[in-house]
Amino acid sequence: MTSVWRRQLRRISPFLFILPGALLFGTVILLACVETVYISFHDWDGMGAMRWIGFGNYAELIADPQFYVSLKNNLIWLALFMLAPPLGLALALLVNQQIAGMRIVKSLFFMPLVLASVTVGLVFGWVYDPNFGLLALIVQAFGGEPPALLSDENTVTYAIVLAGLWPQVAFCMVLFLAGLNNLSSDLIGAGRVDGARGLAMFRHVVLPQLTQVSFIALAVSVIGALRSFDMIAVMTAGGPFGSSTVLAYQMYEQSIFSYRFGYGAAIATVLFVIMAAFITWYLLMMNRMERRG
Amino acid sequence: MYPRPIPEESPRARLFYMAGVALVLLLWLLPLCAVMLTSIKSTEEIMAGAYWTWPQRFSLIDNYTAVFTQTAMARFFLNSLIITVPSVILVLILSTLTGFVLARYRFPGNWLVFALFVGGNFLPAQIMMIPVRDLMVSLGLYDTFWALIIFHTAFQTGFATLFMRNFISALPDELFQAARAEGASPAQTLIHVVAPLMRPALAALAILTFTFVWNDYFWAVVLTQSDTVKPVTAGLNNLRGEWTSAWNIVAAATIVVAIPPVTMFFLMQRHFIAGLTMGAVKG
């Protein structure tokens, strides 16, 4: 009797182990995403009853100029964040030397990565301040008129993205340093014997060995770009006149400040679709790499 | 080694190199240095608009004491700890279990479950904002520590599962074959075979999760309202609104918020880097 019971317990215990984590993640994270799609077909103020309106929110979204501003800004974030991997690689190449003191130097380079995005936002808010900011100081030193980057509709998004790049470049740098440490010294040595130098060495011997790391760095940068929210909230709150919003921020604003949860959910769904397409591609690539070994 | 190591016998090349690196590093950290400088300046100097000059009088102790005595930062700091520490512990427990099963037991849908954990963890948190907020309101947990602890635990379990699964997959197969030959149950295998080898993984995951949860701002503003629950990140942003002209105090508060993750990072740097690269590179 006890041995039968014990055998059964043995058989189901892997299932029991995975249950708490899967249940929590499934309900709080995954189910919530599905629910967002469901809510997006409703008119809802977040408290009262939901009213089904079909594609009403999406019809409104297509005609909403603010939606295109957000979409355009998301694209700017995405495009500029593609600079993070090459810049991270450049910094990694710069510091990949075994000299006394380099460890501390590397950790100092990594620092922006562990700062909260609120901190990064505040720090760059000070840098950009037209009255006393670091940037104003530098521009004045050259006799120029200090620009008010964060209150100019044409520059505001670029200024925020630049702040966002700071920790992102550090992240890519960490990844590439790990990649550089895993380079095959045989291949590098063989390349050197064959007389490969400079750019040729980098392109034909080093870069091919960094394919996987580059892929990861690119992926985390895409995700980082689409996640942008904190920095916008802290630095401009979407302003001036909504010119620096992204989909994530517009959704937050519509729901929390305007009590338009259905409309907010529709914006979130658009973001979800973009992200799901990217994640599916990423997982397929990852699976292929894992099979290849 | 790539790039080619700078030869030891050439002190001049080394000097040039180190000077170059120092310059780049200075530019890289200049924004942060500026905040640190502001945080030790006296209020008079700030009032006079002298932001960037060397402080005439160091007010390091005054400013940082003010942060803890005149603002609610001490409370926010405590709140952050109350939220972060349990979240980290729960994530470690849950992800060890999920990672162990996904790494060591073949069952139909194994890869799908794993893919859902990984995929869900990559989603921008804003996508789940409305339902999660609604869930916490209807559970009566909105504006309590529990709302943030539950959400962070759930969300971080995604990344942590990826991490633990990869770590446990990489452990030598012979260990598990031996355990099976001895007739060990899954629970015994987990406790006697896996657990003793988990220390580096747990350390890496603990510091990563700590940093992620501590630095969160979005959920802090979505799920909390009152000062008694609000974590430091949201508190800092409020402070900025209240202390508009006291830049030295806000700067000091900014540094205070950064101290725990930065300290953890420097103390456990190797684990942090190993965790970040293993979670990402092997995934």
Question: How do A51-52 and A42-43 pair as beta strands?
Answer: antiparallel
Residue B75: Cβ within 10 Å count? 16
Answer yes or no: do B105 and B44 share one domain. Answer: no
Looking at residue B51, what is its pLDDT?
A: 67
Assign A47 to helix, strand or coil: coil
Q: Does residue B216 belong to any structural domain of this protein?
A: yes
Rounded Cα distance between A16 and A12, Å, is 6
Q: Which domain CATH number covers B247?
A: 1.10.3720.10
pLDDT band with cut points at 50, 70 and 90 for residue A31:
very high
How far is Cα A211 from Cα A209, in angstroms, rounded to an integer? 6
Same domain for B49 and B80?
no
The answer to whether the CB atoms of A36 and B32 lie below 8 A apart is no
Q: Is A53 helix (H, G, I), strand (E, B) or coil?
A: coil
* Tens digits of residue pLDDT in A193-230: 887 777 888 888 888 888 888 988 998 899 899 888 99
Q: Are residues B62 and B136 in the same domain?
A: no
d(CA A124, CA A225): 17
Q: Are residues B224 and B274 in the same domain?
A: yes
Shared-domain flag, residues B84 and B33: no
Over residues A279-291, the pLDDT tens digits come to 888 888 877 877 7
User: Which of residues B24, B49, B68 is at a domain's end?
Assistant: B68
Q: Is residue B162 part of a domain?
A: yes
Which of A15, A16, A17, A171 to mutate against chain B (most B CBs within 10 Å)?
A: A17
Q: Determine, for residues A213 and B281 on separate chains, whether the beta-carbon distance falls below 8 Å.
A: yes
Return per-residue pLDDT of chain B as tens, 283 residues.
778 888 777 888 888 999 999 999 999 999 999 888 888 888 877 777 666 677 777 788 888 888 888 888 999 999 999 999 999 999 999 999 999 999 988 888 888 999 899 888 888 888 999 999 999 999 999 999 999 999 999 999 999 999 999 899 888 888 888 988 888 888 889 898 888 898 889 999 999 999 999 999 999 999 999 999 999 999 998 888 888 778 888 899 999 999 999 999 998 888 888 888 776 554 3
- Reading the block at residue A201, the tokens are 């060495």
Residue B229, classed as helix, strand or coil, is coil
B55: left (phi over 0), alpha (psi -120 to 50) or beta: beta
Average pLDDT, chain A: 89
Contact: B1, A185; criterion CB under 8 Å: yes
Give the per-residue pLDDT at B26. 94
> Which of B125, B92, B119, B99 has its CA nearest to residue B207?
B92
Same domain, B48 and B133: no
Residue A134 contacts residue B51 (beta carbons within 8 Å): no
DSSP secondary structure of B163-212: HHHHHHHTS-HHHHHHHHHTT--HHHIIIIIIGGG-HHHHHHHHHHHHHH
Find all residues with CB under 8 Å of B164, minimum gap 6, and list them. Answer: B95, B96, B98, B99, B100, B103, B201, B205
Report the residue from B14, B52, B107 with minimal CB separation from A99: B14
Residues B142 and B39 in one domain: no
Tokens of B72: 């609610």
Nearest CB among B21, B105, B129 relative to A255 is that of: B129
Q: Contacts of residue B279 in chain A, CB cutoff 8 Å?
A: none
Q: Are B195 and B123 in contact (CB under 8 A)?
A: no
Cross-chain Cβ contact B25/A280 below 8 Å: no
Q: Kindly state whether residue B5 falls inside one of the protein's structural domains.
A: no
The pLDDT, as a whole number, for residue B185 is 87
Q: Give the domain-ending residue among B37, B68, B99.
A: B68
Asked, for residue B239, whether it belongs to a domain, the answer is yes
Q: Do A248 and B34 touch (CB under 8 A)?
A: no
Q: Is B37 in the same domain as B122?
A: no
Tokens 């009566």 appear where?
B140
CA distance B78 to A131: 35
Contact check, Cβ <8 Å, A127/B132: no
Residue B126 per-residue DSSP state:
G
Closest chain B residue to A136 measured between Cα atoms? B52
Residues of A in contact with B6 (CB under 8 A): 97, 99
H or E, element range at B87? helix B73-104
pLDDT for position B143? 93
Residue in A closest to B187 by C-alpha: A13
What residues make up the domain containing B16?
A: 11-68
Domains held by chain B: number: 2
Picking from A48-52, A90-94, A276-280, B52-56, which range would have the lowest pLDDT averaged per residue? B52-56
Which H helix or E strand runs over B265? helix B247-267
A277 CB-near residues (< 8 Å, 6+ apart): none
> Of the residues B68, B87, B104, which one is the last residue of a structural domain?
B68
Interface test with A, best of B15, B51, B106, B122 (most A CBs within 10 A): B122
3-state secondary structure of A51: strand
B20 in a domain, yes or no? yes
Question: How far B1 CA sits from the closest chain A CA (Å)?
Answer: 7
Coil, helix or strand for A42? strand
Q: Pick the residue from chain A with its C-alpha nearest to B46.
A: A132
The listed CATH number (4.10.110.10, 1.10.10.10, 3.40.718.10, 1.10.3720.10) that belongs to domain A64-292: 1.10.3720.10
Residue B3 located in a structural domain: no
Whether residue B25 and residue A272 make contact (CB cut-off 8 A), yes or no, is no
Q: In this structure, what token pair is assigned to residue B50? A: 């002298």
Nearest CA in chain B to A131: B49
Q: Which residue blocks in chain A are alpha helix, DSSP H?
A: 2-25, 32-39, 56-62, 65-81, 84-95, 102-114, 117-128, 134-141, 156-181, 185-193, 198-201, 211-227, 230-235, 247-252, 261-292
What is the rounded CA–CA span in Å between residue A74 and residue A78? 6
A17 vs B119: CB contact, 8 Å cut-off?
no
Is B98 within 8 Å of B164 (Cβ atoms)? Answer: yes
Residues of B in contact with A29 (CB under 8 A): 120-121, 123, 128, 154-155, 158
Nearest to B29 among A35, A111, A276 (CB): A111
Cα gap B28→A108, rounded to integer Å: 9
| Residues in chain B closer than 8 A to A137 (CB atoms) | 52
CA of B23, closest CA in chain A: separation in Å? 11
| Cβ atoms of residues A80 and A288 within 8 Å | no
Question: SS in 3 state form for B53-75?
Answer: CCCCCCCHHHHHHHHHHCCCHHH
- Reported as type and span, the H/E element at residue A43 is strand A42-43
Element (H, E) at A34: helix A32-39
User: How much is the pLDDT for B283?
Assistant: 38
CB-CB neighbors (< 8 A) of A98 in chain B: 1, 5
ipTM score of the complex? 0.89
Of A108, A216, A248, the CB nearest to B124: A248
Does residue B1 fall inside a structural domain? no
Q: Scanning the structure block, which residue is given the tokens 């849908």?
A: B109
